[in-house]
Amino acid sequence: MHQAVAPIAPQDRSFAASLVIALARGASSDTIATIVAQNRDLRDKNAKLQTENESQRTRIASLQEQVARLSTLLFGVKRERLPASALQLLLESIVLSADGATAPPAEPADAHSQDATASPMAADAEPVSERTASEPGDAQTPSEVTPVPPPPPSGVRKRATPHGRRPLPEHLPVETVKLPPDEIPEGTRCIGQEVSYRLAYRKAGYIRLRVVREKFAEDNDDASTTVHIASVPDEMIPRGLPDPAMLAHTIHSKWADHIPYTRLSKMIARHGLDASVSTLSAWEKLAEPTARIVVDAAWEQAITKCQVMGIDATGVRVMDTPHDRRAHVWVLLADRAQVFFRYSALHTSDMPKSWLEGFQGIAVADASSVYDDLFRTPFGPTEAGCFAHARRKYFFAMPTDMRARPFVELADALFAIERDAARLSHQGRLAVRKERSVPVIEHFARERDRLLADSTVDPRGPLSRALRYSLNHWAALTRFLTNGRIPLSNNDVEREIRHVAIGRKNWMHLGSDDAAEVACTWLSLIASARHAGLDSEQYLRDLCRVLPSWPRNRVIELAPMNWIATRARLLPKELDAPLGKITIPPPLSQSP
């Protein structure tokens, strides 16, 4: 029996032919060995070139992705929303699939199409995010939940946006300007008038607050005299120049309106006052230790009572010698109600681990490695992922591989469901998620697994990275299906980070590590007041008025989330006065 001879591979045929010719010509063994060695060298070089070619191809694809993203940042629209029609078609197909019906076939998208209408670089939208809304009490059961209406059918025209001038708010003061005719003939009578409104501005100003402490003398029986005078009022800055309103306005202008003190100093100078940058900075620094008491009390309560904590960080510049250095400001959002800013010189895992020590609720975060130690801590928080991060990875993979687009549309469908359920109770929202979000998530997982097994997907490309990100963090990304309190994304925290990002384009950098700690205190109070529905500047003014004389064991009553109830029990006349006595009401727990 003859053994079958394996065919000669194409790359070995030229070598075999050269060897046969050499043998036919009676070549020596040294010549044969040289030919074999040369062939081995050529094969090694060929393998090396193929490896380099593959590496260069991957690098070119990566550079193309970077160029597309940078082009968008420089010249294009930075929002990441797809056309509404695509989302509508997807929702209809998911509903049909859930009912067992057959969806109309969709045209297959070319995996590498660069059509401008489908490219994320041409999409005129922003990332779809959840809308924070007030929720009814948790006592509402799923059976009592009003069914969420299905999306409107395609082809229905949206109601036109009304045009024209809006009426001015009624609470604005009114000044009347009467315009009589140029000439009023004798014997005429007024038969009416035509009234229209303009929006006017009256320049605000500063005043000198003259504080008079009257003295009273009492003659005693022993011929001595007792002098009675009002005690020095308690203030955020003892014997300081700014009153509560001025201090609040200065701090709010920088940390809420992003006006650096160099600019604010010039604005004050237009009123004929001299307020240097160092003076303004000193005011916020001297008042901060007292204000920090409120932030620390609110944090102590949040870390023990809140159930869901969102966390993220952003970079800031800190002045140093000889060059500025990069540091980080962290944002922690407790139950989507209280906001806390924290500062760290380094972006390490020690910081979130130390801040959230003792917290055993749900921590919503992206998949950064700085949170690994936090989630590995025994009896520590449970991780919940951010679907906006997962969506963004697919979105930025679309320029190089349009097979990423269905995943973006599926994520948009999830966000649309969340918007529909935003005003429901936690139980009602969970019921809606189980009914409508679970089919979308299951479809997402099937498509992800199918593409992971597809050999045509570049293992080093952006689509593959997006697929692996979703696979590796799937348990955290789908945690929202188990609890109605858990948000689909961490967008609420990112919206708070946006205030820091806007601010650092104006004040540029922080003066020192201590200055960064001061900034975090004021940012925490302003952001928490905004979440509580308060006028943040008015809240700072009232806080600076009340806090110096408030009992230190009850400062939690002055936190933004409790301020409406606390303010209602204060005497308006005392609160409105810039200085003077504040009558402390009984604790909230003892109030009738």
Looking at the predicted structure, is the pLDDT value of residue 408 above 50?
A: yes
| Distance separating alpha carbons of residues 427 and 139, to the nearest angstrom | 9
Beta carbons of 403 and 379 less than 8 angstroms apart: no
Among 101-110, 370-379, 430-439, 501-510, where is mean pLDDT lowest? 101-110
Measured from the Cβ of residue 548, the count of other Cβ atoms closer than 10 Å reads 17
Angle at Cα 303 formed by Cα 297 and Cα 305, nearest 5°? Answer: 95
Beta carbons of 315 and 338 less than 8 angstroms apart: no
pLDDT of residue 66: 77
Nearest partner of 336 among 364, 359, 360, 366, judged by Cα? 364
When pLDDT is averaged across residues 345-362 and rounded to a whole number, the result is 92
Peptide bond into 322 cis (omega under 30): yes
192: phi then psi, degrees, rounded to nearest 5: 155, -165
In terms of pTM, does the model score above 0.85? no
| Distance separating alpha carbons of residues 89 and 445, to the nearest angstrom | 19
**What is the identity of the amino acid at 390?**
A
> Which of the four pLDDT bands, split at 50, 70 and 90, describes residue 147?
very low
pLDDT of residue 56: 86
- Spatial CB neighbours of 265, under 8 Å, sequence gap ≥ 6: 275, 276, 277, 280
- When computed from its CA atoms, the radius of gyration of the chain, rounded to whole angstroms, is 34
Size of the chain in residues = 592
Beta carbons of 359 and 303 less than 8 angstroms apart: yes
Give me the torsion for CA of 527, 530, 536, 538, rounded to 10°: -150
| Distance separating alpha carbons of residues 337 and 208, to the nearest angstrom | 38
DSSP state letters, 440-501:
HHHHHHHHHHHHHT-TTS-TTSHHHHHHHHHHHTHHHHTGGGS-TTS-SSSHHHHHHHHHHH
Measured from the Cβ of residue 347, the count of other Cβ atoms closer than 10 Å reads 15
> Which of the four pLDDT bands, split at 50, 70 and 90, describes residue 77?
low
When pLDDT is averaged across residues 381-404 and rounded to a whole number, the result is 92
pLDDT, one tens digit per residue, over 171-209 is 999 999 988 888 888 888 888 899 999 899 888 889 999
Q: For tokens 């010698």, name the residue.
A: 321
**What is the identity of the amino acid at 57?**
R
Nearest partner of 569 among 556, 587, 554, judged by Cα? 587
> Which of the four pLDDT bands, split at 50, 70 and 90, describes residue 105?
very low
| Distance separating alpha carbons of residues 236 and 521, to the nearest angstrom | 14
Q: Which residue has the higher pLDDT, 512 or 138?
A: 512
Beta carbons of 314 and 326 less than 8 angstroms apart: no
How far, CA to CA in Å, does 344 sit from each of 90, 218, 320, 370, 542? 43, 58, 15, 13, 30
pLDDT, one tens digit per residue, over 485-503 is 999 999 999 999 999 999 9
Looking at the predicted structure, is the pLDDT value of residue 251 above 50?
A: yes
- Report which DSSP code applies to 370: G
Report the sign of the C-alpha dihedral through residues 91, 97, 100, 101, in that order.
Answer: positive
Beta carbons of 154 and 92 less than 8 angstroms apart: yes
Chain CA centroid to CA 315, Å: 14
When pLDDT is averaged across residues 438-462 and rounded to a whole number, the result is 92
Share of the chain above pLDDT 90, in %: 54
When pLDDT is averaged across residues 76-95 and rounded to a whole number, the result is 59
SS3 for 397-441 is: CCCCCHHHHHHHHHHHHHHHHHHHCCCCCHHHHHHHHHHHHHHHH
| Distance separating alpha carbons of residues 219 and 197, to the nearest angstrom | 63
User: How high does pLDDT run on average in the chain?
Assistant: 83
pLDDT, one tens digit per residue, over 516-548 is 999 999 999 999 999 999 999 999 999 999 999
> Which of the four pLDDT bands, split at 50, 70 and 90, describes residue 421?
very high
pLDDT of residue 136: 38
Q: Is 325 helix (H, G, I), strand (E, B) or coil?
A: strand
- Spatial CB neighbours of 385, under 8 Å, sequence gap ≥ 6: 364, 365, 366, 367, 473, 476, 477, 478, 479
pLDDT, one tens digit per residue, over 542-589 is 999 999 999 999 999 999 999 999 999 999 999 999 999 999 999 877
228: phi then psi, degrees, rounded to nearest 5: -110, 130
Nearest partner of 14 among 56, 46, 58, judged by Cα? 46
Share of the chain above pLDDT 70, in %: 80
| Distance separating alpha carbons of residues 333 and 199, to the nearest angstrom | 38
Q: For tokens 């500063």, name the residue.
A: 206
Among left, alpha and beta (phi > 0; psi -120 to 50; other), residue 580 is left
Looking at the predicted structure, is the pLDDT value of residue 96 above 80?
A: no
- HSE-up (13 A, CA, CB side) for residue 525: 31
Nearest partner of 8 among 104, 19, 334, judged by Cα? 19
